[in-house]
Structure 1
Amino acid sequence: MSKRVPPSMRTRETLSSLIEGRLSSPDGRSELVKLATRLILEEALEAETRDALGRDYYERGAEEGRGYRNGCRTGRLKTAEGAIEFSAPQVAGRDEPFRSEIREHAKGRTEALEELAVEMLARGLSVRDIEDAFRADDGRLLLSRTAVSELGEQLWRDYQEFAARDLSEHEIVYLFVDGIAERVRPGQRREPVMAAWGFTATGARVLLHLMAGSKEDAETVSAFFQDMRARGLGDPALVVSDGAPGVIKAIETCFPRSARQRCLAHRMRNLAAKVPEDVWPEVKARVQAVYQAPSRAIARDLAKGVVEDFGRDLPSAVTCFEDDFEACIAHLRMPVTHRRAIRTTNLLERLFVEERRRLKIIPNAFGERPVLKLMFGAMTRAAERWRSIRFTEFERRQIEAVRQELAAEYEAADTTATAARQARPVTGISSSSQT
């Protein structure tokens, strides 16, 4: 990119690459909030400089005494997400030395900047959000109204691009869907905030979608999926979710050519609640042996032993174990090296624990915007904690074979359903009409 391009534009391009999964470095992927914060700060500094000089980047026509741009220098800002380096414009040729009030202001307002960054990515920003972040202690606005408006419009465009971006360039192999129930609206009961992440065929992790204030009924979750489908999301090889009936129905409706994996962490918790503590270690070991079997055929054989040995004494636990069993072992179709990472939704759930702790101690934190900020903050730290998935050429061939099997199973099921419909007797015909 040309040196005549403002640093903020280079930061925006890096941020876009990060969101869309084009950066392969684990360190790079973990910098999402940092990059968004840096982008907001750089754009604010450039706007402040423009206000001071009376002209835009590389625009001619300097007024005597107002000064001119003299390159950039690197600044450093300490935040909760770690140190952030940014480019700050330098100004020379002024009657009085130019001092950036925003740089001084930002040192004590890093939390506000990070909140703006998360809000930009998760929900978009209003002009008032930006004004609140760049208002001095005495109430004075550090940017002109024009600069605030322009910054708000640009950040809103960034958000709209994020929310409406084309997903067709990502070949999603494993799709994770999960939600956390939060009190999005004060005084109302908790509502799920849905999230979707995916692993691509290159092993990159991509944030695909967020939806706040949703319900986990089939219609709402189907709309959640259809939004991604409309933006080009293809058929994953495997979709991982918990056991919510609405989510399961939506997966089977929207991704009929994909395998569905029931989250095993949820299933193990359900089983533990139905088994006496003194017996649980034995049952747990037997059940884990089923879920970690080398193949689905072996898993089915081991499952028969579990049912035979515990069916009489632990009927409710065995009923739970048998429920949706094929979805619990769907991950065994996939490459061995991927199975541990794809058999649960804990990759998301672990991140929500920290956010719930925050919600308990932050006063007045409830509401759609604060919840989204906290949730998106958790999502953006996922790259630091998720296990990376490596795709070799052999594993890609395995995945392709699974896709072909799934397509054949779908076609066979569709043919069977069509034949059944055609064979169904027609009702409502009077006996006289049949003679």
Structure 2
Amino acid sequence: MTQVQFTLNLDDLKDEVMNSNLTAVAKSALVLVMNEMMEKERDEYLKADAYERTDSRMDYRNGYYERELLLSIGRVTLRVLRTRNGDFSPSLFEKYSRADQSFVLAMLEMVVSGVSTRKVKKVVEELCGESVSKSLVSSLTAQLDPIVSEWANRPLDAADYSYVYADAMYIKVREDHRVVSKAVYIAIAINGENQREVIGFKVASSETFEAWRDFFKSLKDRGLRSPNLIVSDAHEGLKKAIQTEFVGTSWQRCLVHFKRNILATVAQKDKKELAMGIKRIFAVLKPEDAREEKERFVDRCMEEGRFGKAVQILEEGFDDAIQYLNEPEETHPFIRSTNHLERLNSEVRRRGKVIRIFPNQPSAYRLIGAVLMDYEKTFSRRLLWERKRNRKETKQVD
């Protein structure tokens, strides 16, 4: 009878086994192969066959112990071989450790993306045939703490931030067996490379001057220098904190919020007419042009005896609402409102919607921080005004 000899590449075999889509029917065969792989690996380590006397022998066989391994086809029990001095360790479990880490990271990614712990449990059971508790999924998310903390407290002195946007949103948190409202402060900025960057966030008990001031102090302690402009709504505590902590910085009142405040003073039938008049005021490129348009609008309203309350709000907030006109023209669409920060808040709400009520404040900080990190990584890109400026410069050269 002819004997056929072949060489088995153990590394290739391990890769094929660990990355395959084997079914449960092949589980027993898989166990035999893995056990044989570890047996062969121990032989190579010892440099001697069983009962062989040789000067090159590294150690002696010392039986085995059983160890479970969780794979995509389910849980298997392997015979892990031992040596007398205990220095031998099969490489199979090193690869398993890396696979296990990837599995944990995948679970964390599901949670950050807004998948509930209940759904994560179901996914794991479908993939692995194993049940995991909600408490296990929750404990795994705690691994995000050092990552989020390092990112949230990174230094800010390496970049110049010309424009900073600040806003607060609200979440529900369980505290002492009660459900309470918490304020989440978020600040984003435009860095020297014209990219939006989340520079800070904080979960606090309320939205007050003191809380905003502490938030801005923490940004300054991390190296934030006074920007040209800070854009926000007209919350009194926020305004006062900006004036206190950033002397010499202009405050831009969010134009979208400002227009809404003005339009809220008139009946529905008059909103369209009023909106058209306000639009003409801010559809300019220079502060002086905006003032001229505003004066014409006010004079017309006074003659007609209409929109008294709207005119009052316009006059009181006008100067704060046109500060963006002192900046380069190409930046105007990006710095006159907090719209993109509002969109970021909406993304945080969307991903946190499956939780509804955070179990405690640290869990809220953890998840919101992870969402902000993910959003920044995914959507951080050079802003449009640089492309517009480059096209304009190219046209001038041509």
Deviation per residue, 1:26-52 (Å, 9 max, x gap): xxxxxxxxxxxxxxxxxxxxxxxxxxx
Q: Letter of the aligned partner of 1:277 in structure 2?
A: Q
Show the counterpart of 1:377: 371
Query: Cα distance 1:104–1:335, how it changes in 2: closer, same or farther (>3 A)?
Result: same
Q: Percentage identity across aligned positions?
A: 24
1:387 to partner: Cα distance = 7.3
Instruction: Kindly state the Cα deviation for residue 202 of structure 1 after the two structures are TM-superposed.
Output: 2.2
Aligned to 1:206: 197
Q: Specify which of 282, 285, 297 is matched with residue 276 of structure 2.
A: 285
Q: Does 1:388 align with 2:383?
A: yes
Contact persistence 2:301–2:307 (CA under 8 A): yes
Task: Report the Cα distance in structure 2 between the residues aligned to 1:287 and 1:379, rounded to whole angstroms.
Answer: 37
Q: Deviations over 1:196-244 (max 9, x none)?
A: 1111122132221110025332221111111111121111011001110
Task: Report what 2:313 is aligned to.
Answer: 320
Deviation at 1:113, TM superposition (A): 4.0
Instruction: Give the whole-Å Cα distance in 2 for the aligned partners of 1:313 and 1:197.
Output: 39
2:337 aligns to what?
344
Aligned length: 286
Matched, 1:216 2:211: no
CA contact (8 A) 2:194 2:382 kept: no
Instruction: Supply the RMSD in Å over aligned alpha carbons.
Output: 4.2
Partner of 1:6: none
**Partner of residue 247, structure 2:** 256
Q: Which residue of 2 aligns with 1:22?
A: none
Amino acid at match of 1:388: L
Query: Cα–Cα, structure 1 residues 109 and 381, in superposed 2: closer, same or farther, change >3 Å?
Result: closer
| Inter-partner Cα distance in structure 2 for 1:162 and 1:282 | 48
- For 1:225, the aligned partner's letter is F
The structure whose Rg is larger is: 2
Q: TM-score, normalised by structure 1?
A: 0.55
Measured after TM superposition, the shift of residue 190 of structure 1 is 2.4
Residue 222 of structure 2 corresponds to residue 228 of structure 1: no
Residue in structure 2 matching 1:330, options 298, 323, 335: 323
| 1:183 corresponds to | 172
Q: Tell me which residue corresponds to 1:241.
A: 232
Asked if the contact 1:351/1:379 (under 8 Å) is kept, the reply is: no
Aligned to 1:410: none
Q: Cα–Cα, structure 1 residues 191 and 98, in superposed 2: closer, same or farther, change >3 Å?
A: closer
- 1:100 — aligned with what? 96
Matching residue of 1:299: 290
Q: Distance in 1 between matches of 2:148 and 2:353?
A: 28
Letter in 2 for 1:182: I
Cα deviation digits, residues 156-176 of structure 1 (max 9, x gap): 654443333221111010011
Cα distance in 1 for partners of 2:277, 2:96 equals 65
Q: Which residue of 1 aligns with 2:32?
A: none
The Cα of 1:98 is off from its aligned counterpart by 6.7
Query: Residue 183 of structure 1 aligns to which amino acid in structure 2?
Result: K
**Which stretch of structure 1 is more off in the superposition, 307-316 or 322-331?**
307-316
Residues 355 and 375 in structure 1, CA contact (< 8 A), matched pair in contact too: no
Aligned to 2:84: none
**TM superposition shift of 1:280:** 1.6
5+ residue gaps, structure 2, are 1-37, 39-57, 62-88, 115-123, 134-138, 391-398
For residues 192 and 60 of structure 2, the distance between their equivalents in structure 1, rounded to whole angstroms, comes to: 57
Aligned match for 2:159, one of 167, 170, 178: 170
Contact kept, 8 Å, 1:359 with 1:366, in 2: the verdict is no
What is the rounded CA distance, in whole Å, between the counterparts of 2:60 and 2:308 in structure 1?
Answer: 88
Q: Is the 8 A contact 1:202 1:391 kept in 2?
A: no
Q: Deviations over 1:68-88 (max 9, x none)?
A: xxxxxxxxxxxxxxxxxxxxx
**Corresponding residue number in structure 2 for 1:275:** 266
1:292 deviates by 2.8
Following the alignment from structure 1 to structure 2, what is the Cα–Cα distance between the partners of residues 343 and 258?
A: 15
Q: Distance in 2 between matches of 1:350 and 1:286?
A: 27
Q: Residue 137 of structure 1: CA displacement?
A: 3.9
1:310-345 deviation line (CA, Å, top 9, x unaligned): 353222222222222111000000111111011111
Q: Tell me by how many angstroms 1:306 deviates.
A: 2.1
Give 1:371 shift: 3.8
